[in-house]
Amino acid sequence: MVRMPDNEPCMEESPRRCHECYPDISQQTFFMRKRFIQSHLSLVDMFIAPSQFLADRYIDWGLPEEKVKVEEYGRTSPTGQAVDGQRKCRDRFGFFGQMTPFKGLHVFLEAIAALHGHDDEHTDPLLRALELAAGTTSGTPTAERLGPKPHGRVHGANLDLQPGNFQNQISDLLEQTKDAVTFVGQYDHLDLAKHMSQVDWVVIPSIWWENSPLVIQEAFHFGRPVICSDIGGMAEKVEHRVNGLHFRADDPSSLASIMKEAMETPGLWEQLREGIRPLYAMEDHVKELTSLYRELQRTEAPGHAG
């Protein structure tokens, strides 16, 4: 659901548009593929999507609206408790996820670099914008004018499987932000509580829609407000200024100013943490699925049952 080669989100499918992204595959092939898939999906009685966003995408594509139900993923609670501690400034930001271009790790690192005043030349306009927002004067050295500095923690793997230019981009950014970012790398899910204890905010900077990212539920479970891109399934699951904050997708300066606000606004962290609702329990999820299934059984056309 992103356009090639620039990874811009794609909201509309057609044989021609698909062929534009994959010039080696003909329009006719895309057309046939869709007809073929639709022929087989016509046998399905109900589709379940974990977000309204995903449901809408499939309905736009051609699934009959009446067959599509939205049902959030159920979760069994992750083990352990995160330690919150008493902190003067909620300035620790965590990234949890695959290190692919779509997950936007580069957006996160660029925002941190900007807030630390690195790469002056490159981020000059951004810095100026932040200075103006902070009302600082030009006499003070840049880094000191910017107030509290964020600390980033990157939890993720498989950078080595990514395209070379992306690997280089991330390595450069990690090098540039090495004083401000701890690279944790791959982690064990059983240690999630420990890792969550080390962050105040979970940042989900994906540049594509996401359906219903599990990391949102994990963050909420450990009482971590989420800062995410303002698109797709993320924006649907994280409510802006209720249990998290939105920034403009694929825009490091927007993320930087949101992070700055998150660090500098007293009581904001506690307020958003209060807005987090309990996890949707697996037992409730199973109950809902079972009832949907029973409903289908009741309404099924005679002779259709096998």
Give the interface with another protein as residue ranges (CB under 8 A).
Answer: 14-16, 26-28, 30-32, 35-36, 39-40, 42
- Minimum CB distance to another protein smaller for 29 or for 162: 29
- Minimum CB distance to another protein smaller for 21 or for 32: 32
- Minimum CB distance to another protein smaller for 27 or for 182: 27
- What is the distance between the alpha carbons of residues 105 and 206, in angstroms, rounded to a whole number? 8
- What is the distance between the alpha carbons of residues 111 and 119, in angstroms, rounded to a whole number? 11
Element (H, E) at 13: none
- Minimum CB distance to another protein smaller for 33 or for 128: 33
- Minimum CB distance to another protein smaller for 42 or for 168: 42
Question: Nearest approach, Cβ of 39 to another protein (angstroms)?
Answer: 4
- What is the distance between the alpha carbons of residues 182 and 202, in angstroms, rounded to a whole number? 14
In sign, the C-alpha dihedral spanning 41, 42, 43, 47 is: positive
**Is residue 228 a contact partner of residue 204, using CB atoms and an 8 Å limit?**
yes
Which segments of the chain does DSSP mark as H helices, in order? 15-21, 27-41, 52-61, 105-115, 120-134, 142-145, 164-176, 192-197, 214-221, 232-237, 252-264, 268-274, 282-299
